[in-house]
Structure 1
């Protein structure tokens, strides 16, 4: 038993931690709890109403009974006094003869009796002179009721709290009713008030019994409602959960998954429609896959087939280019343009072949420890001539320590070179900054330019193949439009991030983040995506 309690206590933090998630995800649990709470509220309101009606009915019945009995006792006393000659009887003796029969009958019928002093004296029961049932506390008679009988008044009653000095048989302490009625004694011709005190103990016991009965009936009723709600919602939620699982498997690529159809109700028709949708999606996805496969094969075949003729054209172009001194100016210029365009065409073929390798899943990594600081300096040296041609310069901000990551140095250099040349194209003669950083999890390079920037939504489109923010803008670096797409594929091959930020007129920043060790999942980058100067002006 102790071991079971210990294991439950150990699991309690886990239960509390997963409880909110279960509440958010489970429609069935929310429906059951909501139904039980609403049912409990309805049962509580109905129970309270019934209790009030029962209480009022019991009290009204009890009041009518005790008032009638009190009036009957008072009338009997009046009849007895009317039969007694007033001058022949002593006042005190007549009071005693009046009260003692009432007290005796009260002991057997369950009520107490109090006879007040003469009304004309204006005295209270607490002042003394009253005759009453033994061991009764006279404070049981409320002063408000006494004040009502300071002069001649008809029968009146009120609720009270009965108090006794010792236990009185048939009259327990607690809530009760006191009824007042007046009589005139022939001995002194004065008015006296008779108070009859009745207990409400039986009514309280009846109310307690009704309350227990309603509670005993209400708890199983709520449990029954919870069970029925659980079963009803289960019939609805179970097909939805099955549809969710099938949808997840469809999203994972298992396009042959289908829902099981049972019956002809709304859920069955929903399952049929879902299956039809899945079949149509499967057909369209297969068509797109086939089209994509044919497209990749076409690109790969064309790229390979163009290798041979382009090599022949290159050889002829080299011969013509070397013979420029012997050609006329127009032909020599044509030879230069031919050489330049052949260079660009070969670069485009290389990029297309690289893209086809990524599409075919044939790209592999030749991983080694790579210092991103060295990579940045090599890329800056390679692009210095292009930067000088564009009237800008590339500035490297070193962190002062190596930033090493396990990566393919050729692919990382290609990524950084594409980012720097892209920044040179859009720098607008302003300086380009290269930031490098690393922490225990990853290493990063950020390339910042202060050129035209990117518009809203363009930071995601910039990695699309052949996409350009401004189609009318010339490519001064001779790019093919595939550089950033290849860079993104190279980054994904490392399990890293390649992200872009930009703002019109304020430039752009591209950030490459690589895990320190291949296979490690990135959770953050050591460099911010939004530049510090952009955050200050925001």
Structure 2
């Protein structure tokens, strides 16, 4: 009986302090901010309504006074009659109203000391051009005013040239709306401050575990599989942290096992390759002797001897390639840099393998660079041999430098069918052969992989692509390490 009770209490506590509760609080705060925003909008609307009522009242009263005064007014007018006209209109608009009448070049005011600059040129132009009543709210010396203007017509006739403007103060309306604004602002400030404090506390509580989880994930991505997340509480984020830690444990164990398997596989390849060299040397010697005496043997026996010799040579190359890859994997491969004329080194590689007549070269004489000549020979031989086996003539080898002068490039291109998209992604993989797309290779499938590892050992890389006009192109890029005497 006790255990179910504890579970219910634990579940209630979890719901009380869970992520859902914090999200509800956050939504409540958003609703509060929305209410404050609605209040501010309501204030704006009420202020607009107050000003519009004032405007409508002034415009209606002004229109009636102008119509009444215009009934007893004759044009042309002199200054005295025009002043009486303006004063008569102002008497019906309130104590603070000022009326300005303008007839042709004559302008008078019901209050001689009134500031006529409150009637803006824009309002004068609107009354004159539109020939109808217009209004404008202006501020002068920090005080708001409503200015209404209208042209005067007699019996529906054309405009008489008489324009009348009424200036009334909006100070009372401004003070009334300012009072509303002060009341709203005084109530909003404490609420906003409290909401900000609660939002910060809630965000800190919710986001702290998420940030820790993000940092742990980034450390995992960087290779630190020992990183874990501290579990706090019993909410959903705590469950997520526990799941992350379990996943990290499983991943670390799996990666450790894979690394151990990979290390064992590499040691196995290295050991097997090393152990094969001694018997393989003896087999090669015997196969060479048989191959030399093949012509003296019966035809079937001679064919078998030549086959054994060829396959033994192929096996020897495979063992050499495996030994080379094992040195790359163990980090034992080292560069033996020597000053080298790049064009001469490439020419020597082609000449040694009797490929000079089969490859069109575009050399750049005089390029001297510090490279490992043996490894450069391996790279060029692999790329050229690959182009000759799988591409089509002509095969072109081009030496070049980049515009900055910091990199050297050796480009090997052919005019064959090119590389299929699925082959481009795996062309440098070990033991990969695109049998379905190309002629079956007699190599080990390690040539391009060894070439790439040698390029990386020099600090460079090899890129494979297809030419726009057809054919594949392999580009070796290595940094230009100049010999000391040339650099100085």
TM-score of the superposition, structure 2-length normalised? 0.67
Could you say what the CA RMSD is over the residues aligned between the two structures, in angstroms? 4.3
Find the aligned partners of 1:280 and 1:41 in 2 and give their Cα distance: 46
Q: Which residue of 1 aligns with 2:229?
A: 259
1:459 matched to 2:424? The reply is: yes
Q: What is the aligned partner in structure 1 of residue 458 from structure 2?
A: 494
Question: Residues 346-365 of structure 1 correspond to what in structure 2 (within 5 A)?
Answer: 346-365=316-335
Of 99, 108, 128 in structure 1, the residue corresponding to residue 84 of structure 2 is 128
Residue 250 of structure 1: how far off its partner (Å): 2.0
Residue 99 (structure 2) pairs with residue 140 (structure 1): yes
Q: Is the counterpart of residue 165 in structure 1 residue 112 in structure 2?
A: yes
Correspondent of 1:432 among 395, 405, 415: 395
Bigger Rg, which one: 1
In the alignment, is the contact (CA less than 8 A) between 1:51 and 1:211 conserved in 2? no
Give the structure 1 partner of residue 471 of structure 2: 507
Within the alignment, does 1:277 sit opposite 2:247 as a pair? yes
Number of residue equivalences: 389
Tell me, what secondary structure is at the counterpart of 1:140? strand
TM-score normalized with structure 1 length: 0.62
| Deviation for aligned residue 1:396 | 0.8
1:316 equivalent to 2:286? Answer yes
1:453-501 deviation line (CA, Å, top 9, x unaligned)? 111132120111111112585556x421111111111122222111100
2:46 aligned to which of 39, 53, 56: 53
Shift of 1:141: 8.5
Match of 2:305 in 1: 335
Q: Cα distance 1:55–1:260, how it changes in 2: closer, same or farther (>3 A)?
A: same
SS at match of 1:249: helix
Aligned to 1:384, the other structure's residue is in SS state coil
Alignment check: 8 A CA contact 1:403 1:438 kept: no
Rate the CA distance shift 1:38–1:329 in 2: closer, same or farther, 3 A.
farther
Using the TM superposition, give the Cα deviation of residue 407 of structure 1 relative to its aligned residue in structure 2, in angstroms.
2.6
Flag structure 1 segments of 5+ consecutive residues without an equivalent: 1-35, 71-113, 144-161, 179-195, 519-538
Aligned ranges 1:82-481 → 2 under 5 Å: 121=72, 126=82, 128=84, 140=99, 164-166=111-113, 175=145, 200-211=170-181, 214=184, 228-385=198-355, 393-402=358-367, 404=369, 406-428=370-392, 430-439=393-402, 440-471=405-436, 473-474=438-439, 478-481=442-445
**Structure 1's 141 and 418: CA in aligned 2 closer, same or farther, altered over 3 A?**
same
Per-residue CA shift, 1:42-68, capped at 9, x if unaligned?
85664242133256469869999xx9x
Unmatched segments (≥5 aa) in structure 2? 1-28, 76-80, 103-108, 116-140, 149-165, 483-488
Matches of 2:55 and 2:415, distance apart in 1: 94
Deviations 1:359-380 (A, max 9, x none): 2222222223333322221222
Specify the SS of the correspondent of 1:446. Answer: strand
Q: CA deviation at 1:256?
A: 1.6
